[in-house]
Chains A and B, each alone.
Chain A
Amino acid sequence: MNVISASLADSATMVRRNFRHTMRNPLTLFNSIVVPIFVMFLMVYVLGGAFDVGTDYVDYATPGLIILTIGYGIGPTATAVNSDMTTGFINRLRVMDVSRAAVLNAHVFAIILRTLVAIAIIIGVALLMGFRPSASFPEWLGAIGIIVLTVLAIGWLTVASGLAAKTPENAGLAGVPLMLLPFLSSAFVPADTMGPGARQFAEYQPFTSIIETLRGLLTGTPSAGSAITAIAWCVGLSLAGYLWARATFTKRA
């Protein structure tokens, strides 16, 4: 068996393992959608009536909620990666000459699958609440593309911080900023309505360009400018997370 097919076979084995973890622990999926759904109710039915965003509020807020969902879904991955490291599971695999790529890729792959399922549920709930996307088929593909890219970036950062954390508890905390950052973006109100400081922060942080891109695609008014910024952020963060994860994996025996 050559190196590449061995690595693919190992990746498949590890993906199967992570998939079983999710199926046996359905709470991880439930946890990742319960808060976003609550926030959606809060924003659309309680607070949103007071916001003037120029369109139906549910249409405005859904792209932000989709991104918010990603942040709420990563906790279990950070903890799982960390316990693989601290219980010696990864050392066992290293001695078996299982490729490092297989272990880490499987975690990232699992987080992407799980998040896509969670997002599908969120979009379903949004549709029930009156969300009416006007995206064409290619725009939907673009929307899925930007979502996957975002999960990829966040997934690699999560895996890396899970590897680097000293304990599973610490690893679980790694996701907190990612849960909070979308609130300080244009997810729920346009950035130019915010106060000074917050506005600049919102305008330049990665989630705003990602959410703007997604919103443009879903409402049928894509903007190339924010798309390029968003893709650049995603690719940059993915690469940073990947390199960080790789270095930590090699260093910690």
Chain B
Amino acid sequence: MNGSAIAASGLRKAYKDKVVLDGVDLHVRTGTIFALLGPNGAGKTTTVNVLTTLLTPDAGKAVVAGHDVATQTKAVRAAIGVTGQFASVDDLLTGEENLLMMADLLHLPKKEGKRITDRLLDRFDLAEAASKLAASYSGGMRRKLDLAMTLVGQPQLIFLDEPTTGLDPRSRRTMWEIIRELVADGTTIFLTTQYLEEADQLADRIAVLDQGRLVAEGTADELKRRVPGSHVRLRFTNRHELDVAARVLHGSTKDDEELTLRVPGDGGVRSLRALLDRLDEHSLEVEELSVHTPDLDDVFLALTGHESKEISAR
């Protein structure tokens, strides 16, 4: 093992004349979390489908878990687990039955299947709901069950396609915790997301996908450095104070109508303190202060020159 979980180059896929993947190169190191960040329609799910052997690319080569997806499909499938964009649990089976069904399909001995099922139910706090039909589960529970089903096979590489889309903030945090634990156990995670915050929280490396092309790749910090969106917004009570502030704070831009001033900065405590000191020095009264960190839209704007507008049809 050379430490590479995924190595893909020049992946291309088009449906009729609509290009979905336009030469994507990916490299994911074993034991890390890699996030593919992009808006709907960027080609995230198509990328996952190609890497998980569900879809044959028109061109390009992908080696996943040391095996070629085109020629060693079986070996790839044995090494990976996939949790799709929609929780694909069986609603008319209980949580426990869903997991046992996975164990049966993996041809695990009955006892082993039962043991793994019990352990996963415990681990994901689903033991109490184990004998209830999955149809009665909340969105967060369904996602957890979905992921648990993927884990029955103890894959070394897991693909998570938008694992937290549509979840409430609490369930999202629980899911993040679970993902972190998986990596701590040595699993490699390839996740797709629309949320910069999610990629920021979880990923060792992030690749930004836009209209089938990678427009940037790096750590969260590297990406954010390329984004000028981080700033502090100050609101004043009158025009005079605004004008004075605009003069003393270099690089700021003012909005006369809103009586606001936009001051570039990283939003860190140190620069914030310096900013406040400076305002005090000139006895400026600030009515409201807010710190803005870049979101996906800022990243997109900076990297592609256009908004992360949703593109119809996946």
Contacts and interface: CB of A to CB of B under 8 A. Distances in A.
Nearest to A10: B105
B132 to A, nearest CB: 12
A93 B152 CA distance: 13
B308 interface: no
B92 interface: yes
Contact of A253 (B49, B87, B92, B104): B49
A91 interface: yes
- Of the four ranges (under 10, 10 to 19, 20 to 34, 35 or more), the interface on chain A belongs to 20 to 34
B248 interface: no
Nearest to A97: B77
B155 to A, nearest CB: 9
B86 A87 contact: yes
Interface of A: 1, 6, 9-10, 13, 17, 20-21, 24-25, 87-89, 91-98, 253
A94 B74 CA distance: 10
Contact of B92 (A25, A87, A88, A95): A25
Given A6-B107, A253-B54, A96 B77 contact: yes
A17 B86 contact: no
B99 interface: no
Contact of B82 (A9, A10, A87, A92): A92
Contacts of A91: 49, 54, 82, 84, 88
A1 B55 CA distance: 27
B92 A24 contact: yes
A13 B84 contact: no
B282 to A, nearest CB: 59
Contacts of A96: 77, 102, 105-106, 153
A94 B81 CA distance: 11
A20 B97 contact: yes
Given A9-B104, A88-B88, 14 more contacts: A13-B101, A17-B90, A17-B93, A20-B93, A21-B92, A88-B86, A92-B82, A92-B84, A92-B88, A94-B53, A97-B74, A97-B77, A97-B78, A253-B54
Given A17-B101, A92-B149, A96-B153, A1 B90 contact: no
B105 A87 contact: no
A21 B93 CA distance: 8
B133 interface: yes
Nearest to B55: A253
7 contacts: A10-B105, A13-B105, A20-B92, A91-B54, A91-B88, A92-B82, A95-B54
B211 to A, nearest CB: 20
Contacts of A253: 49, 54-55
A42 B55 CA distance: 52
